[in-house]
Chains A and B, each alone.
Chain A
Amino acid sequence: MKDIFLKKQILKRPDELKRHYDVVIIGGGSHGLATAYYLATHHGITNVAILEKSYIGSGAAGRNTTIIRANYRTPEGAAFYKQSVELYERLSGELDFNLMFSQHGHFTLAHSDRSLVVQQERAEVNKLLGIDSYVIDAKEVKKLCPQINISTDVTWPIQGALYHPPGGIIRHDAVVWGFAKQVTRAGIEIHQNVEVTGFDISNGRVHGVKTTKGDVSCGVVLSATAGWSSIVAKMAGVPLPIIGSILQAFVTEPVKPFLDKIIVSAQMHIYCSQTDRGEFLIGAEVEPYPTYSNKGTFPFVEYACRHVLELFPQLHATKILRHWTGLCDMSPDYSPIMGLTELDGFLVDCGWGTYGFKAAPIVGVTLAELIAKGKTPALIEPFKLDRFYTDTLVSEAAAAAVSH
């Protein structure tokens, strides 16, 4: 009995940095950790260091609203996210860590004819790729989610929704810890409180990284630094088409469970779900100006409450418990930027904006394959940085600007 309550330290802290690693991953968020995990498990590459300037999960990985779904708008995007959802479905067992993934269904509400057309288009793309996703009318919304207010005496009455049954929420901290546990077991070093401050570059190739704990040489560097990507890439002299902003969210005090669905309103720019702890988790879209300031704003809370109360008037007396923000690296087409750059040995994983958490496992699988084999996997070919020089963008705005 006693050992159930024994504090097990799952994360062994490595000592000094070694002088050389085959692969250095900058950023101990969900993407950096997932890439390390698949480098070890799929390719047996374990002379790897993850360098994290703060603690693992201190960035967006520990701040996101954990929506996992595959109902994207473009065939490239939808096919990619579909594989990630499937990996997440098996991940608790694989990592031997309960990630509390609950797939209870995801609604993208439409409040106008135009919006219904967009949702219909998404449903068609999804159907072709074998993704469970279809449009329903307001009555069916009410049947599947009896708690929602479909009356017409509101600002934007509900006309219907894109319904995505496998959409769900997960415990984000557990994803971070689960990956970290297995990565450490595989012999990969996670160095927290080590910030990358520069690179050793010559002849168009990166040979090592400079850090606050000394320099190390390496074969390949992956920057998986999300909201900090522009800063890190600038040190390597690689320009990025990224604008940083913040996304905010808040939770209410816990109440008895009464909502098992995820509700997103594309018109009102808000979304909500109820966590396993009973809190209502509510978010909106990014602040409309670039910033690195993680200070929450009052207008966001006011705006989100006003609109959520139209969908769930029952919440009118519920108090707000916590409110926080996280940095988001927004790309021009709302699609990620992954893989090789013009600097040899320097790989990026960014442009994840407000939607990257759901992609962590497939990012890990594909980037690990790219690092191990040196060839870009077909699944992430459309997302290379080069597309901004060749005008081959993958516009995901219709499915990713508000739903995260």
Chain B
Amino acid sequence: MLVTCPNCGPREVQELRCAGESTTRPKTTPTQRELNEYIYFRANEAGLQREWWFCRACEDWFLAERNTVTNEVSRTWHPARSPEGSAR
């Protein structure tokens, strides 16, 4: 399985770390329920999922869009260098 790091190019998955699906931070003073939903609950999508990855080679974080059924990574991008950033 190959994942393309925006800095280092295509890499074997062992050279990176998947930090899981990207989530939306709750507002500044969340209720306990909102906070726990954010911490524990996941969509765990079967299909296209947007997730955070970390590259062990350049030690940078980036976003990826991956199909969790086929493991095909359709797109990776660096939030700071893309107009859409990390917005959903």
Contacts and interface: CB of A to CB of B under 8 A. Distances in A.
Interface residues of A, number: 22
Contacts of A291: 68, 71
Interface stretch (A142-150, A241-249, A305-313, A315-323): A241-249
Contacts of B13: 289
Nearest to B47: A292
B87 interface: no
Interface string A221-251: 0000000001100100001111110000000
Interface string B65-80: 0001111000000000
Contacts of B46: 230-231, 244, 292
Contacts of B69: 292-293
B32 interface: yes
Interface string A96-138: 0000000000000000000000000000000000000000000
What does DSSP make chain A's interface, helix, strand, loop or mixed? loop
Which of B1, B20, B46, B49 has the most C-beta atoms of chain A within 10 angstroms of its own C-beta?
B46
B37 interface: yes
Interface string B6-37: 00000011100110110000000000110011
B82 interface: no
Given A290-B20, A292-B68, A243 B44 contact: yes
A289 B20 CA distance: 7
Interface in A197-242: 230-231, 234, 239-242
A234 B14 CA distance: 31
A16 interface: no
Contact of A241 (B33, B41, B49, B51): B41
A271 B50 CA distance: 33
Given A243-B42, A290-B18, A389 B36 contact: yes
A80 interface: no
A234 B51 CA distance: 19
Nearest to A290: B68
A254 interface: no
Contacts of B37: 239
A218 to B, nearest CB: 25
Interface of A: 230-231, 234, 239-244, 288-293, 295, 297, 299, 332, 388-389, 391
7 contacts: A230-B42, A243-B20, A244-B68, A290-B20, A290-B44, A290-B49, A295-B71
Given A234-B43, A241-B42, A292-B69, 17 more contacts: A230-B44, A231-B46, A239-B37, A239-B41, A240-B42, A241-B40, A241-B41, A288-B17, A289-B13, A290-B18, A290-B44, A291-B68, A292-B46, A292-B68, A299-B12, A388-B41, A389-B36
